[in-house]
Amino acid sequence: MTVDINQKLEQICRLFRIEGTYVTSELIQMGNVNKTYECKFILPDGTPKSFLVQNVNTYAFRHPVELMENIDKVTEHIRAKKPGQIALHFHHTEDRKTYVEDGKNFWRMTNYISSVTYDTPPNLELINNAGKAFGEFQMQLADFKPEDLFETIPDFHNTRSRFEKLLASVKADPVGRVAEVREELDWLLSVQDLACKLTDMQKAGQLPLRVTHNDTKINNVLFRKDSYEPLVVIDLDTVMPGLVGHDFGDAIRFAANRVREDSRDYDKAGVDLDVFKAFAQGFLGMTARTLTEAEIDTLALSCFVLTVELSTRFLADYIDGDLYFKILTPDHNLVRTRCQVALAKDMLKKMPQMEQIVRECAAEACM
């Protein structure tokens, strides 16, 4: 990393009152939206210690101060339920702020938790534990008042409004990419009503609003290095009122896909039903007793919904000229779209089996 960024990061760390010798920082491959660095220090007593510094993407998060208020409340709520256990902790500046604004960027700092994350599950035990971790997270926030949370990204999982945004991008076609994506666009539009079912049911009062994580990729669970035990759920930027299906569906979309989210092997994309079952068992084991029948009935469909919804987001971003998601190649958002579309098609085929597995896991959890 350049001298400039090292200087900047050291300066941010000092504002969060870190003392000792700054050693270096490393950019961590984590997430598609914010930039994360591990900053390494030697503390005044001689021990090495790392901190995580994040540059929050204010194009995605337009109200970062309110976002930090949410995170503060949520982490405190969870810490109070698990005293003494490993938890996320945000550092404060001298004037008690959880962030530093330098005119251009918005920075925050957390404790560094020695752990591992997985983009693809190495075995079913791990995926079952990820299900438990997200299920437990949901239960920890069951008594948190949704109205105490600011909506960090309005209509985040409002699938109808995601389709509207896609159509607006198509109409504007700012960089002339629409012609190239007709096939994906037509397919997405052909499944619009089914994909909007959760949104419509929520609007009709048929599904309860809960406090949900809303970004449940398994790499948002930190695991112990020496076992497959989960330590803590991270990435709380989108903790907001939502539906249980948003968390279940997004987790399956990411973890149960046979290929990575942005794989070019479109014909290999599809749901691994063993992974689906292991996650469902873990998640429903924690939550099934508290869920309504309508919620349980929509869990399998929610996987399709979240996959189509994210396809519309990747495609809209491709059409917009890649403003939102970090990209590694010029066609990254197009590749992501194609992979998610292929996954969604496979989910439609496997819907009866997925529904059956959800019913069995829910029944087992309620015995």
Point out which residues bind Mg ion (CB under 5 A).
215, 235
Sequence-distant (6+) residues with CB within 8 A of 190 are none
> Using CA of residue 262, residue 265, residue 271, residue 275, what is the dihedral sign?
negative
- The entry of Mg ion, ligand GN1, none near residue 60 (CB within 5 to 8 angstroms by kind) is ligand GN1
Tell me the residue ranges of DSSP E strands in the chain.
21-28, 35-42, 48-56, 100-101, 106-111, 210-212, 221-223, 230-233, 240-242
| Residue closest to Mg ion when measured from CB atoms | 215
Q: How far is the CB of 238 from ligand GN1 (least distance, A)?
A: 5
> Using CA of residue 75, residue 78, residue 81, residue 82, what is the dihedral sign?
negative
| Residue closest to ligand GN1 when measured from CB atoms | 31
Select 17 or 326, whichever has its Cβ closest to Mg ion.
326
Q: How far is the CB of 301 from ligand GN1 (least distance, A)?
A: 18
Q: How far is the CB of 348 from Mg ion (least distance, A)?
A: 26
Residues that bind ligand GN1 (CB under 6 A): 31-33, 60, 215, 217, 235, 237-238, 261, 310
Select 91 or 253, whichever has its Cβ closest to ligand GN1.
253
Select 249 or 285, whichever has its Cβ closest to ligand GN1.
249
- The entry of Mg ion, ligand GN1, none near residue 261 (CB within 5 to 8 angstroms by kind) is ligand GN1
Select 32 or 302, whichever has its Cβ closest to ligand GN1.
32
**What string of DSSP letters covers 71-96?**
HHHHHHHHHHHSTTS----B---TTS
Q: How far is the CB of 253 from ligand GN1 (least distance, A)?
A: 8
Select 215 or 250, whichever has its Cβ closest to Mg ion.
215
